[in-house]
A = this chain, B = another copy of it.
């Protein structure tokens, strides 16, 4: 029927023009590199069907790549295997099955596993090891030693979930320099990092934040408002060895629920390179306006630490804020604005102190930007 031709044509067009699925697209996570270091986004604690997780190893590679991560360690439980009736117990399989796709996607894949003891002492990841099989042992001290001999980097997982006491065993592992890091933040778990962060600083451990995922991650990308808990690693090069060296040297920060935790040494330059303050866009009596651009993927929540500028200042990720600065018109316009970044924590109860510097306008030439 003639009347129906448009319907048919419409259908044909609709078919031909359907957008391609976006599932296999990678959205980079935007944090600036630091002088001498590339900023890698990593997750060192992830599970699959090979222990108590619910996805095949390649799913972990693809979801990490899609979400803009640079490196992951798949760390199935060594001693815990609820799927053993149905799934192989070869402790090296999970890494081997994921390795091909990781190469194709240029994702750094780090071999590892989770030492899983009752509390105390609890759970520990060891990563960068070469062969998981010999690590299946009832004696954690032996496990730690063997892992270390293979070049493993060991850290204490989610200490507070399982009690969190620092016992003699922890002391032994620590004094032998087998235990080098602590998972300050784990997955979406909310309530304990005030303590673990303090512990990590006190013992001078590498600070880590990981997802501990068991189910598929539904995120297509990581944003300030909805992101995987992860570790920012400041590496000399984007290789597995580069990550390893950075962890040994404690060059990390932790991104957790839109807060960034870590040492001032790394947090201060991360802030500085994430923020651009413009010359005044406009001036009036006792007022000036500036643009503040936040180039990073983290929202920043600032509180005034001096006498000038708005009391509170929220700088959403990847955006520009136009800010009015009021001052005594009888005095010179301010050029430095001291603030505290309340969601950039250098200690459990201490935000990062920063100064926003307003660039001087070039004197002798017309403004052109």
Would you call A20 and B314 a contact (CB within 8 A)?
Answer: yes
Would you call B65 and A54 a contact (CB within 8 A)?
Answer: no
Cα A213 to Cα B26 with chains together (Å): 21
Would you call B281 and A218 a contact (CB within 8 A)?
Answer: no
A79 in the interface (beta carbon within 8 A): no
A194: chain B residues at CB < 8 Å are 11-12, 15
Partner of A318, one of B15, B27, B278, B345: B27
Cα A12 to Cα B195 with chains together (Å): 12
A190: chain B residues at CB < 8 Å are 15-16, 18
Would you call B65 and A106 a contact (CB within 8 A)?
Answer: no
A56 in the interface (beta carbon within 8 A): yes
Within 8 A of B (CB), among A3-18: 3-8, 10-18
A168 in the interface (beta carbon within 8 A): no
A105 in the interface (beta carbon within 8 A): yes
Could you tell me the distance in whole angstroms from the C-beta of A158 to the nearest C-beta in chain B?
15
Would you call B303 and A104 a contact (CB within 8 A)?
Answer: no
Q: A59-B55, A215-B59 are in contact. Are A103 and B282 (CB under 8 A)?
A: yes
Within 8 A of B (CB), among A74-103: 83, 85-88, 90, 93, 97, 103
A264 in the interface (beta carbon within 8 A): no
Please classify how large the interface on chain A is, using the bins under 10, 10 to 19, 20 to 34, 35 or more: 35 or more
Within 8 A of B (CB), among A153-193: 188, 190-191
Q: A14-B257, A14-B259, A349-B8 are in contact. Are A25 and B321 (CB under 8 A)?
A: yes
Partner of A93, one of B11, B86, B219, B301: B86
Could you tell me the distance in whole angstroms from the C-beta of A56 to the nearest C-beta in chain B?
4
Would you call A13 and B17 a contact (CB within 8 A)?
Answer: yes
A239 in the interface (beta carbon within 8 A): yes
Would you call B65 and A59 a contact (CB within 8 A)?
Answer: no
Cα A289 to Cα B368 with chains together (Å): 43
Cα A301 to Cα B278 with chains together (Å): 36
Would you call A369 and B238 a contact (CB within 8 A)?
Answer: yes
A142 in the interface (beta carbon within 8 A): no
Would you call B14 and A17 a contact (CB within 8 A)?
Answer: yes
Would you call A191 and B3 a contact (CB within 8 A)?
Answer: no
Within 8 A of B (CB), among A286-344: 289, 291, 293, 301, 303, 305, 312, 314, 316, 318-322, 324, 340, 342-343
- Residues of A at the B interface (CB closer than 8 Å) are 1, 3-8, 10-28, 49-50, 53-56, 58-59, 62-63, 65, 83, 85-88, 90, 93, 97, 103-106, 188, 190-191, 194, 215-216, 218-220, 237-239, 257, 259, 278, 281-282, 289, 291, 293, 301, 303, 305, 312, 314, 316, 318-322, 324, 340, 342-343, 345, 348-351, 368-369
| 3 closest cross-chain pairs (CB), A and B | A216-B216, A8-B349, A54-B56
User: What would be 11 A-B contacts, judged by CB atoms less than 8 Å apart?
Assistant: A14-B17, A18-B190, A20-B312, A26-B320, A27-B320, A28-B319, A55-B59, A59-B215, A62-B215, A87-B87, A239-B368
